[in-house]
Amino acid sequence: MDKKEILSKIDKKYQSLGENPETYLEGLLHAKPINYWDYVQVDTLLSLQNPRTDFKDESIFIMYHQITELVLKLMIHELEQITAPDFNNDEKVFAEKVNRLSRYSEMLITTFDVMRHGMNYDDYNQFRLTLAPASGFQSAQFRFLELYCTPLENLINAHGKQRLPKNPTVEDYFDHIYWKDAGHNRQTNKKSLMLTQFEEKYLDKFIKLAKQMQGNTLEEKFAKIENPTEQLRQALRGFDFMYNVKWPITHLKTAQFYLNSKGEHKAATGGSDWMKYLHPKYQQRKFFPNLWSEEEVKNWGEIKNI
């Protein structure tokens, strides 16, 4: 493309916006060149670690969780595109996007080695005491991602389904959603501080997104495709397995190393019964239940591969 053609296109671009192209061209004379550190906001990013103790490995713990939040944001970035009303359900593009979700899930799984092998055992078990009642449970992006992926009824475990009223509302589903079992004692009706703080900050946002996503989740987008390709089916199964079986199992094994490797059964900082709560067979979270056989659903959490 020669100079004349470039200038012509710039002219058309700004005229179509009702703007004077010459103003923008003149502005380029004064604009500073972009550099890597400003574009990526490196200085800001590297200033976001604020340990509460003097234990050196606490910085590793903080950065690991910040990396996790960035990966979750990458996943939500993809999900917002696939679930958008103007996404045309092109199966090739659909499968490509879902495969990206699986690769990001793989990142979440493999980076757990940072947690498992990258921190001093005794130091971790000291600095973690200063974090109560904070917990990774309180990752809002984790919950947003679920709401983009599947209808609320797929986020209710067997015990929750028994408690639901006959025609549940969105609010009813959230009263019995699987993750509340980590901080809500159904016998005493008492909630942990971890859960109370989490709901106060995010519950209204979760409910709003859930209502917005009704009929438009990833699972429902897939259901609208007649005779989907095996490639797309396997892509969705792969993502479901990676995110809802393999990642929680990896998380559980890491927690076992730090909290129960010596038979101490230490409590989670948020107060949850992590040995039970973290297991996928207890959570029963499946984004695409219709893609799994009865046997696979029955043995959810024990599937070794797909």
Mean pLDDT of 203-224: 97
Percentage of the chain beyond pLDDT 70 is: 92
Please state which of the ranges 48-52, 112-116, 181-185 shows the lowest mean pLDDT. Answer: 112-116
Mean pLDDT of 256-265: 65
pLDDT tens digits, one per residue of 58-80 = 999 999 999 999 999 999 999 99
Most confident region among 96-110, 179-193, 261-275 by mean pLDDT: 96-110
Long-range contacts of 273-280 (CB under 8 A, 24+ apart): 273/182, 274/182, 277/181, 277/182, 278/248, 278/251, 278/252, 279/248, 279/249, 279/252, 280/244, 280/245, 280/248, 280/249
Token output for 154: 């797929």
Using pLDDT thresholds of 50, 70 and 90, give the confidence band for residue 276: low
Please state which of the ranges 129-143, 170-184, 208-222, 277-291 shows the lowest mean pLDDT. Answer: 277-291
pLDDT tens digits, one per residue of 131-150 = 999 988 899 999 999 999 99
| Architecture of the 58-298 domain | Up-down Bundle (1.20)
How far, in Å, CA of 112 to CA of 105, rounded?
Answer: 11
Residue ranges, comma separated, of all CATH 1.20.58 domains in the chain are 58-298
How far, in Å, CA of 55 to CA of 245, rounded?
Answer: 33
Mean pLDDT of 77-84: 97
What DSSP line would sit under 149-207, residue for residue?
HS-GGGG--HHHHHHS-SS--HHHHHHH-GGGGGTEETTTTEE-HHHHHHHHHHHHHHH
How far, in Å, CA of 234 to CA of 199, rounded?
Answer: 35
The CA-based diameter of the chain, rounded to the nearest angstrom, is 75
Quick one: pLDDT at residue 139?
95
End-to-end Cα distance, the chain:
49
Q: Name the β-bridge partners of 185.
A: 190
